[in-house]
């Protein structure tokens, strides 16, 4: 690995914080993110959808009944941008939009059977790669991976993430 070696005295070295190590981490994020999205992207390009549709399907699957506003804050895009994606998913019968009972202005989003099938196909492809990477690296590495990623998030997104992480699901 070329790490280790420490300095003169050894012990609690801060060599992992050098600009050089940070640059390697930056490139690792860049290349890994490409791998991360590669499999779903391949599936999507055959169908008439893109990565934006995948993201919507993922988060509706994760939180069935979520409102459009919730989705907006998680995805961090404008409502116009999300609406374009959502409209095609609803038209194509992958997502169902139900008017809220308590607040009828809100729309609650659910996956249909068809939508669930596509979501599963996409997420199984993505999990496949993830599983291989996890298995290759081992549980301790995975724990470190999650720690660093969590520390890298914007505080607001970290809250979104942790809410789900800490809940039953």
Partner DNA sequence: CTTGGAAAGTCAACAAGGCTGACATAAAAT
Partner DNA sequence: ATTTTATGTCAGCCTTGTTGACTTTCCAAG
Binding interface with DNA (CB under 7 A): 48-53, 67-69, 72, 76-87, 97, 99, 102-107
- Is residue 63 part of the contact set for its own copies (CB under 8 A)? no
Nearer to DNA, 81 or 147 (CB): 81
CB count in 10 Å sphere of residue 34: 10
Residues in contact with its own copies, shown as a per-residue x/- string from 4 to 23 under the rule CB under 8 A: ---------x--xx-xxxxx
Residues near 85 by Cβ (< 8 Å), separated by ≥ 6? 52, 53, 56
- Using CB under 8 A, which of the segments 77-85, 89-97, 100-108, 136-144 binds its own copies? 136-144
- Is residue 48 part of the contact set for its own copies (CB under 8 A)? no
Partner from DNA, its own copies, none binding residue 11, C-beta < 5-8 Å depending on class: none
By CB under 8 A, the count of residues binding its own copies is 66
- Per the CB < 8 A criterion, the answer to whether 67 and 106 are in contact is yes
How many residues does this entry show for the chain?
A: 169
Cα separations in angstroms, 150 against 47, 158, 160: 33, 7, 11
């Amino acid at each position: 690995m070329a790490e280790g070696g420490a300095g003169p005295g050894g012990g609690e070295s801060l060599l992992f914080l050098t600009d050089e190590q940070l640059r390697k981490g930056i490139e690792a994020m860049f290349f890994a993110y490409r791998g991360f999205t590669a499999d779903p992207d391949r599936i999507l390009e055959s169908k008439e959808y893109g990565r934006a549709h995948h993201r919507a399907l993922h988060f509706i699957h994760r939180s069935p009944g979520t409102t459009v506003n919730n989705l907006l804050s998680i995805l961090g895009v404008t409502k116009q941008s999300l609406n374009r994606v959502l409209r095609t998913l609803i038209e194509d019968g992958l997502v169902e939009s139900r008017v809220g009972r308590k607040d009828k202005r809100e729309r609650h989003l659910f996956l249909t059977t068809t939508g669930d099938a596509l979501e599963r196909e996409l997420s199984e492809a993505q999990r496949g790669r993830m599983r291989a990477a996890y298995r290759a690296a081992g549980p301790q590495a995975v724990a470190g991976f999650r720690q660093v990623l969590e520390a890298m998030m914007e505080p607001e997104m970290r809250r979104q993430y942790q809410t789900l992480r800490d809940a039953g699901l």
